[in-house]
Amino acid sequence: MQTDIRDLWKRQDLQPIRMSPEELRKKSRRLKNNVRVRTVCGFLAAAFVFVSFTTLAVQMPDWPRRFGASLTAVAAFYFIYQVLQGRSKNAPSDLGTSASVDFYRQEIERQRDFHQGWRFWTRAAALYPGYLLFCWGSAVAEPASAHAFAWIAVTAIVLGAVGIALNLAKARKYQRLIGEMDSTVANSDKRT
């Protein structure tokens, strides 16, 4: 039964999505605005983490917290670098339909790769070891507060897992959009 439904769904005739260059530019602008808001928020958060942990790295008296804070600051700087490196380009206003589709698709692919590719995993791998080392060093240096630092570390791990899941979900959303664009192009090619 379930296989029959899947086969029916796969065989259905999709109507190609026809959009004017202006509609594509609107979608591209909407994507760019959403990305800009996320970029600014991510940049500000990473800048705060960078300044805070750089300050802690200088002020901490023991090596585990100093090293953990330094690693966290470097990870925040790496995040800032990636955000600035991966900024989107502006779509030229004189693009035709084909070029607009290509530009929009490239932007979607770029966002998908930012949320799931090797850069994403290097960001995640860079951030957590330093922060967890900082928490461990703080728990060792201040045994009376060890329980609190343990909860902070556990919270960071849980939030990290949620952040990874949200990024991968965002990447899947972008991949679905790419798939829809591909099926639209394939169906319009069949009809011509």
pLDDT tens digits, one per residue of 26-49:
777 888 888 889 889 999 999 999
Alpha carbons 176 and 166: distance in angstroms, whole number:
15
| Higher-scoring residue by pLDDT: 19, 55 | 55
Per-residue pLDDT at 90: 60
Q: Which helix (H) or strand (E) holds 76?
A: helix 63-85
Angle in degrees, 0-180, between the axes of helices 118-141 and 63-85, rounded to the nearest 10? 160
Please tell me the predicted confidence (pLDDT) of residue 169: 95
Q: Does residue 19 sit in helix, strand or coil?
A: coil
CB atoms within 10 A of CB 108: 20
What Rg value do the Cα atoms of the chain yield, rounded? Answer: 23
- Residues 6 or more apart whose CB falls under 8 angstroms from that of 119 comprise 82, 86, 113
Tens-digit pLDDT profile for residues 85-140: 866 666 555 555 566 677 788 888 988 988 998 888 998 898 899 999 999 999 99
Whether 138 contacts 65, CB under 8 Å: yes
CA nearest to 130, candidates 63, 61, 80: 63
Given pLDDT bands bounded at 50, 70 and 90, which one contains residue 3? Answer: low
Q: How confident is the model at residue 192 (pLDDT cuts 50, 70, 90)?
A: very low
* Count of C-beta atoms within a 10 Å radius of residue 75: 24
**Domain segments of the chain as ranges:** 20-185
Average pLDDT, the chain: 82
The answer to whether 117 touches 41, Cβ cutoff 8 Å, is no
Residue 13 — pLDDT band, cuts 50, 70, 90? Answer: low
pLDDT tens per residue, range 117-132 = 888 899 889 889 999 9
Local structure of 95: helix, strand or coil: coil
Query: What pLDDT score does 191 carry?
Result: 45
Residues in Cβ contact with 139 at an 8 Å cutoff, skipping those fewer than 6 apart: 145, 146, 149, 150
